[in-house]
Chain A
C-alpha cells in the first residue's frame, strides 16, 4: 500500500515537472535545433565523442558571435551506440524533439538504419565518418551528405599509389571475402583494368580467422607480384605480413583504412614496418584544422579523436548553409551545399549531387618506426 502511494506521489511530481517545463519548451522555438547522433557510450564511443566536441566548439563560437541570422543554435545530443536497432530510436527521438539538421550518424550500419526516418521528415543529415557506398551512390537518401570520402574512392587511391608512386605494375589483390574488403578488392581490380597500366597477377579471397596464411603467401611469391593490395581488416593483414616476413618476401604491402590502425602495428611489430595503408586525408597543413585542434586542446585539454576534423567541417558546412539559405528547408540547404564552397578543416568544400564532399579523399600512410606517417 505504501509503495502504491509513493508511486502515485512520484507520478504526480512528474506531472508537475512536465507542466513546469512545458513553457520552457515553447520559448525554445526560435532557436536552431542541431542534432548530434553517434556512439557516445559503449566500446565504439571513441568514434562518436569527438564529433560532439567538434559540434560544441563550432556552435559555442557561433553563439558567442550572436548566432545565425539572430537565432541561437541549440545542440541536442543522442546516443546510438553504433547499433542499427538503436539508431532508429535515436533518430525518432531527435525528429520528435524537432531538430532541423543532424550531425551523424557515425557508423555506416547505424546511419543506413536511421536515414529513412530523417528522409521522411526532410531533415538534412551530414556524417563525418559513414563511408558506405550505398549512402550516397544509391540515390536512396537525397538528404544525406558526408565530409569523408566513400569506400568506392579508396580502391583507386590504393592502386594509383602502387602504380604511380611506388612504380610497381604486377599486383596481387587479396581480400577477406567480407562486406568491407571484397568490394574494395573488386574495385581495385576494376581500376587496374581501366587504367591499363598494371597487371593483376593474383586475385583471391582468404578465410578470415584461418590458422595460418603460409599457403597464400607462397602463392603470392609464386605469382611474381611486386605489390600486394589487401582489402580487409588488420587481424588478417598482420598475420599475412608476419608470414611474409617469415618467408623472406620483399613484396610491398598496400592496404586500406581497416589496416590503418595502431593495433595493426602493435600486433605485427617489426613486420609492419614499410606497410602502406590508405586513411582519411591528412589535413595537417590546413590552418583551419590546426585552429580547430588548438581550440579542442584549450577546451577539453586533450588532442581530438577520430573524425574530429570531418565533424567540425560538417558542422561548419551545415550552419553556413542555414545562414546563407536563411532557412532550414532541405531543398534550400541542398542548393547552398551543392553550389557554394565553404572553408573547413578538410579544405574548401562543396558537395556533388550524391552528397559526397568534392575535394575530400584519402591520403596514403606508411609505417615507420612503429607509427603511421603520411607519404608525401
Chain B
C-alpha cells in the first residue's frame, strides 16, 4: 500500500508541474487558437531567472524565505515580460495570416529562445539552490512524500484556485472568456481584444515560471533544454484534457502524471512514454475533443 501511495504522490508532483505549464497552452489556444510552442521555453526562462536571482541573493546572505519570494516574483515578472514580448513580436503581426504561419513562428521562437539562453548562459547543467528546505515535521513520512512534493502540490492548488477566481469573477477574466467565445463579438461590445490577448500571455507565462521554479528546486538542476520536453508533455496533457478548456488542462495533467508514474511503478519505466502517448491516442479516438473539451465547430 505504501508503494501505491508513493507512486500516487510522485504522479501528483509531475501532474502539478504539467498542469502549471499546460494552462498556458490551453489559455492561449482558447483565445487565439494558436499552439504556442515557445511556451516550454518560457518555463525554462522562469527557472533560469529564479536560479540567477536566488544565487545572487544567497551570496548577499538573504534569509531563505525572502529568497523564495523574491526569486519567485522575479521569475514571474521576467517570464511574463518574455511572454508579452513574444506575442507582440512573433504572433500579433500574423494574427490574420493562415493558421500555419503563427505555428511556424512559434517553433522558430522556441528554437531562438533555447539557443539564446544557451549562448547567454551556458550549455552545462547548473545546480539549482535548495529553495524549499526539508521541514522537520515531514521527516517521518519523507520517504513517501517529501517537503518539495508537498510544496509543489500546495502551490499548484493555490495557483489554480487563484486562477479560477480571476477567470470567473474579475473583469479581465470575463473579458477573456468573452474573447475566447467570439473574438469579433467581444470587439463589438467594447472589449480591447489586444489587451486581453496580452493578459492571457502574461498569466500563462507567470504560471509556467512558477512551475519552472518549483520543479528546479525539486530536482536540483537546470539547463537550457529543460523547456522542450516539459513543453511537449504539458502540451500532451492539454490535448488530453481538451485543449482550450482550463479544468481540462488540469485534469489532463494529473491523468498524464499519474499514468506515467504508475506505468513506471507497475510495468516498466522503459515504457513510460509509450503508456503516456497510448493513453492520448485512446482518449482522442473515443473523445476527439479531449476529456473535458467541447466539440465546437471550426473556429474562424
Residues of A within 8 A of B (CB): 43, 177, 204-207, 209-216, 218-219, 221-222, 234-235, 238-239, 242-243, 246-249, 263, 266-269, 271
**For the complex, is B142 an interface residue (Cβ under 8 Å from A)?**
yes
Residues of B within 8 A of A (CB): 3, 6-7, 9-11, 13-14, 17, 123-127, 142-143, 146, 148-149, 215, 218-221, 223, 225-226, 228-230, 233, 260-262, 264-265, 268-270, 272-273
Are the C-beta atoms of B127 and A247 separated by less than 8 Å? Answer: no
Instruction: Name the residue in A215, A222, A243 with the highest tally of chain B Cβ atoms < 10 Å from its Cβ.
Output: A215
CA distance A212 to B148 in the complex (A): 12
A246 with B264, Cβ < 8 A, contacts A211-B215, A214-B13, A238-B221 known: no
Are the C-beta atoms of B229 and A247 separated by less than 8 Å? Answer: no
Are the C-beta atoms of A215 and B265 separated by less than 8 Å? Answer: yes
Are the C-beta atoms of B269 and A206 separated by less than 8 Å? Answer: yes
Q: Contacts of A269 on B, CB cut-off 8 Å? A: 127, 220
Picked from A207, A234, A246, the residue with its CB within 8 Å of the CB of B273 is A207
Picked from B10, B17, B225, the residue with its CB within 8 Å of the CB of A218 is B10
Are the C-beta atoms of A212 and B127 separated by less than 8 Å? Answer: no
CA distance A266 to B221 in the complex (A): 10
Instruction: Name the distance in Å between B97's Cβ and chain A's nearest Cβ.
Output: 33
Q: Contacts of A247 on B, CB cut-off 8 Å? A: 142-143, 146
Q: Which residue of B lies closest to A219 (CB)?
A: B265
Are the C-beta atoms of B7 and A218 separated by less than 8 Å? Answer: yes
A248 with B218, Cβ < 8 A, contacts A214-B10, A215-B10, A218-B7 known: no
3 tightest Cβ-Cβ pairs between the two chains A and B: A214-B10, A215-B264, A205-B270
Q: Which residue of B lies closest to A238 (CB)?
A: B221
Are the C-beta atoms of A215 and B270 separated by less than 8 Å? Answer: no
Q: Contacts of B9 on A, CB cut-off 8 Å? A: 214
Are the C-beta atoms of A239 and B219 separated by less than 8 Å? Answer: yes
Q: Which residue of A lies closest to B218 (CB)?
A: A212
CA distance A140 to B272 in the complex (A): 37
CA distance A301 to B262 in the complex (A): 56
Are the C-beta atoms of A267 and B3 separated by less than 8 Å? Answer: no
Are the C-beta atoms of B3 and A248 separated by less than 8 Å? Answer: no
Q: Contacts of B225 on A, CB cut-off 8 Å? A: 209
Q: Contacts of A177 on B, CB cut-off 8 Å? A: 270
Q: Contacts of B124 on A, CB cut-off 8 Å? A: 263
Are the C-beta atoms of A212 and B146 separated by less than 8 Å? Answer: no
A246 with B230, Cβ < 8 A, contacts A222-B3, A235-B221, A239-B221 known: no
Instruction: Name the distance in Å between A215's Cβ and chain B's nearest Cβ.
Output: 4
Q: Which residue of B lies closest to A247 (CB)?
A: B143
Are the C-beta atoms of B229 and A209 separated by less than 8 Å? Answer: yes
Are the C-beta atoms of A207 and B220 separated by less than 8 Å? Answer: no
Chain B interface helix/strand/loop/mixed: helix
Q: Contacts of A214 on B, CB cut-off 8 Å? A: 6, 9-10, 13-14, 149, 261
Query: Could you jot down 14 A-B contacts, CB within 8 Å?
Result: A206-B272, A209-B228, A211-B233, A212-B13, A214-B6, A214-B149, A218-B10, A221-B143, A235-B223, A238-B125, A246-B146, A263-B125, A267-B126, A267-B127
CA distance A263 to B146 in the complex (A): 25
Are the C-beta atoms of B268 and A204 separated by less than 8 Å? Answer: yes
CA distance A249 to B143 in the complex (A): 8
Q: Contacts of B146 on A, CB cut-off 8 Å? A: 246-247
Instruction: Name the distance in Å between B22's Cβ and chain A's nearest Cβ.
Output: 13
Are the C-beta atoms of A205 and B269 separated by less than 8 Å? Answer: yes
Picked from B219, B223, B233, B269, the residue with its CB within 8 Å of the CB of A243 is B219
Picked from A216, A238, A249, A271, the residue with its CB within 8 Å of the CB of B264 is A216
Are the C-beta atoms of B220 and A211 separated by less than 8 Å? Answer: no
A210 with B272, Cβ < 8 A, contacts A215-B10, A222-B3 known: yes
A212 with B215, Cβ < 8 A, contacts A218-B3, A247-B146 known: yes
Q: A242-B221, A263-B124 given; name 9 further pairs at CB < 8 Å.
A: A177-B270, A214-B13, A216-B264, A218-B7, A219-B269, A247-B143, A263-B125, A267-B127, A269-B127
Q: Which residue of A lies closest to B147 (CB)?
A: A246
Instruction: Name the residue in A211, A212, A219, A268 with the highest tally of chain B Cβ atoms < 10 Å from its Cβ.
Output: A211
Are the C-beta atoms of B229 and A267 separated by less than 8 Å? Answer: no
CA distance A204 to B267 in the complex (A): 10
Q: Contacts of A213 on B, CB cut-off 8 Å? A: 219
Instruction: Name the distance in Å between B266's Cβ and chain A's nearest Cβ.
Output: 9
Instruction: Name the distance in Å between A269's Cβ and chain B's nearest Cβ.
Output: 6
Instruction: Name the residue in B9, B223, B228, B268 with the highest tally of chain A Cβ atoms < 10 Å from its Cβ.
Output: B268
Q: Contacts of A219 on B, CB cut-off 8 Å? A: 264-265, 269
Instruction: Name the distance in Å between A270's Cβ and chain B's nearest Cβ.
Output: 9
